[in-house]
Amino acid sequence: ILLIFLSLGRKYKKNGVNGPTGLAGFIEPVIMMIRNDVAKPILGERHEKYLNFLLTVFFFILINNLLGLVPFFPGGANVSGNIAFTCTLAVFTFILVNVNGNSNYWKHIFWMPGVPVPMKIFLAPIEFIGVFTKPISLMVRLFANMTAGHVLILGIVCLIFVLKSLAAAAVVVPFTLALSMIELLVAFIQAFIFTLLSAVYISLATEEHHE
């Protein structure tokens, strides 16, 4: 990640921001997509404050997902299929959401305005549990989706050895390649969903009260 973005930074500093070429021609539209289609619509005027985090999370997950599909160094490890990895990312979002949560956010959790007192007492524990279930959903979604694809590919490849047949290999190999192409799409989608939901949770915690 450092190699990619430090080199892009030097390129922009030297040549300016007009007409990106090469790797910059791919990275810049993705950055603008996260900024214009995720951060701005969801966070509004606050998007600049959290854009660095959202971009970092997106590219960190995406690059690790893509490396997990490469069968040789520096890839070969399904990092996003490790629950500790996804848990750490979810904890960062959890901290950012709750540290920046305003009084309106906490009021709606512990003493929801405009609701009868008995209902407030009933809803407060549920809302408090929701504070923790949101990052858990981030963690499990990314972990489960990335693990499922790799397990499916591994299971199909194992059919060659189970059946001990070259004919099976003729069917399995093209099918595995097709699944790997789908996994490329999944790698991008899962990075996007994690970033999108992080932006939504941040927005809910920092949104000002409206009458």
User: How far is it between the farthest Cα atoms of the chain?
Assistant: 71
76 three-class SS: coil
pLDDT one-digit tens code per residue, 108-151: 888 888 788 888 888 889 989 989 999 999 999 999 998 888 88
**In contact, 135 and 91? CB cutoff 8 Å:** yes
Residue 211: is its pLDDT beyond 50?
A: no
Burial class (CB in 10 A: 0-12, 13-18, 19+), 162: exposed
Neighbours of 42 (CB within 10 A): 21
Q: What is the pLDDT of residue 16?
A: 67
Residue 92: is its pLDDT beyond 80?
A: yes
Residue whose C-alpha is closest to residue 154's, from 171, 176, 170: 176
Lowest mean pLDDT among 93-97, 154-158, 191-195, 197-201: 154-158
Q: What is the pLDDT of residue 180?
A: 86
Q: What is the pLDDT of residue 19?
A: 61
Mean of the per-residue pLDDT values of the chain? 87
Residues 6+ apart with CB under 8 A from 147: 78, 81
Count the residues in the chain: 211
Mean pLDDT of 102-112: 86
Lowest mean pLDDT among 13-17, 53-57, 94-98: 13-17
173-to-43, 98, 147, 150 alpha-carbon distances in Å: 45, 47, 20, 15
Q: What is the pLDDT of residue 18?
A: 63
Q: What is the pLDDT of residue 17?
A: 62
Burial class (CB in 10 A: 0-12, 13-18, 19+), 70: exposed
Element (H, E) at 69: none
Q: Which amino acid is at 14?
A: K
**Residue given tokens 């450092």 in the structure block:** 2
Residues 6+ apart with CB under 8 A from 149: 179, 182, 183, 186
Residue 22: is its pLDDT beyond 80?
A: no
Lowest mean pLDDT among 3-7, 15-19, 38-42, 65-69: 15-19
Its pTM stands at 0.87
* Tokens of residue 153, six digits: 């590919």
